[in-house]
A and B are shown apart, each in its own frame.
Chain A
């Protein structure tokens, strides 16, 4: 069992749909992350929130919109996605900057 919980585990959506991915952690971490991972590749950073403020955005398309309602929650809002956006979306959290990130088990997203 991981200490970072992601929902849903699987999501299938059409290119015109709007959906959201959710992430929750109760480790008291103040940095939270969204990653995208394609098959046989390492996780690719999308967004970093530090103390609930967006601090890093790795030039991700605007069809992905992050939200950090509080220090324990992180959402990723999806709109008008493309088939190439099909991937495993991972959430992570971290304590101090020299400490490791802890990952959830991800949401497997398929775009039809």
Chain B
């Protein structure tokens, strides 16, 4: 069965303190990896799609990278408004890739 694991489970950073979140997967024949941000009581907000090893995407203070076994979400000089739960997800071959497998998420707290 495909596995998607995120670490750490929770991360507390000072404002401006850069760090990285990890998403490792065991899906064979990866057909993309998605990163989402979720604020409390809201739906996940799509951030990035990565399709092949070596690919990188950037948006403001966030940069997502992909290798053959894992993805990183790098946060540079975070601000309190970056506080959220970050989820990664990969398409699941079961059902013709109509569903995705989510990781358990990393809850990020950025302290002023």
Interface residues of A, Cβ cutoff 8 Å to B: 2, 4, 6, 31, 40-43, 45, 48, 50, 55-56, 88, 90, 92, 97-106, 108
Chain B interface extent, by class = 20 to 34
- Could you list 12 further interchain pairs (A-B, Cβ under 8 angstroms) beyond the known A55-B95, A100-B49? A31-B98, A40-B107, A42-B102, A43-B44, A43-B102, A48-B98, A50-B98, A56-B99, A92-B43, A101-B46, A102-B46, A105-B43
Residues of B within 8 A of A101 (CB): 34, 46, 100
Residues of A within 8 A of B43 (CB): 2, 4, 6, 90, 92, 103-106
B104 touches A (CB below 8 Å): yes
Q: A99: which of B41, B49, B104 is its contact (CB, 8 Å)?
A: B49
The answer on a CB contact under 8 Å between B41 and A97 is no
Could you tell me the distance in whole angstroms from the C-beta of B110 to the nearest C-beta in chain A? Answer: 19
The answer on a CB contact under 8 Å between B42 and A106 is yes
A50 to B95, CA, bound (A): 11
The answer on a CB contact under 8 Å between B46 and A108 is no
The answer on a CB contact under 8 Å between B99 and A48 is yes
Q: Which residue of B lies closest to A89 (CB)?
A: B43
The answer on a CB contact under 8 Å between B95 and A42 is no
Given A98-B51, A102-B46, A105-B43, A42-B99 contact (CB < 8 Å): no
Residues of B within 8 A of A43 (CB): 44, 102
Interface residues of B, Cβ cutoff 8 Å to A: 31-32, 34, 36, 41-46, 49, 51, 87, 89, 91, 95-100, 102-105, 107
Residues of A within 8 A of B105 (CB): 42
Given A42-B87, A90-B43, A103-B43, A98-B32 contact (CB < 8 Å): yes
Most buried by A among B36, B44, B51: B44
Q: Which residue of B lies closest to A50 (CB)?
A: B98
Given A42-B87, A42-B105, A43-B102, A100-B41 contact (CB < 8 Å): no
A108 to B41, CA, bound (A): 8
